[in-house]
Amino acid sequence: RIMVGLPSVENREKILRTLLGKEKVDKEIDFKELATMTEGYTGSDLKNFCTTAAYRPVRELIQQERLKDLDKKKKAMKEQSKNTEEEAKEEVQKERVITLRPLNMQDFKEAKKQVAASFSAEGAGMGELTQWNELYGEGGTRKQKQLSYFL
């Protein structure tokens, strides 16, 4: 029965650094600003926030690939010659290297619009949890007060 509160700004920054440790991140990412932006977020909220931001470059790449495919189809429809078949075979033989761009601050700003804090620190639920912790929890004042009849 231990109450774990919401992470502080410093702890959110550490959590974000840990979650994004293996991701390609732009050098200009300000983790302190990200931690400030995510006031009231739980650790789980921060994970969802980072995941949402990380999907933005993937979505952009998929959209670019779709546009390329549409262009190829349009060209094929226009030409419709035997040269087109030969070019298609050559393109298949070319190796495709897919590289994602690093995450930037705009990715996180857009993710912030999609991922909200799941729990309000000022809400009635938090007040009830704090009160319960004070009365019954391991971190509450009940455990800290010594009873006089044991002296």
Domain boundaries, the chain: 9-119, 120-151
Q: Which CATH number is associated with domain 9-119?
A: 1.10.8.60
Q: Are 105 and 112 contacting, i.e. CB atoms less than 8 angstroms apart?
A: no
Which backbone phi and psi does 138 adopt, to 5 degrees?
-65, -30
47 with 101: CB under 8 angstroms?
A: no
**Residue 57's CB: how many other CB atoms inside 10 A?**
18
**Which residue carries 């990200």 as its tokens?**
34
| CA atoms of 18 and 47, how far apart (whole Å) | 10
From the list 33, 36, 31, the residue with the least C-alpha distance to 17 is: 31
Q: Is the pLDDT of residue 144 over 70?
A: no
- Integer Cα distance of 57 and 65 in angstroms: 12
Triad 118, 2, 120: Cα angle to 5°: 20
Look up the pTM and report it. 0.70
Q: What was the pLDDT predicted at 56?
A: 96
Indicate the pLDDT class of residue 101, thresholds 50, 70 and 90. very high
- Residue 73's pLDDT is what? 82
Least confident of 9-18, 50-59, 72-81, 121-130: 121-130
**Residue 51 and residue 130 in contact, taking contact as beta carbons nearer than 8 Å:** no
Q: What is the chain's mean pLDDT, rounded?
A: 82
Tens of pLDDT, residue by residue over 127-139, are: 777 787 787 777 6
User: Per-residue pLDDT tens for 23-56?
Assistant: 999 999 999 999 999 999 999 999 999 999 999 9
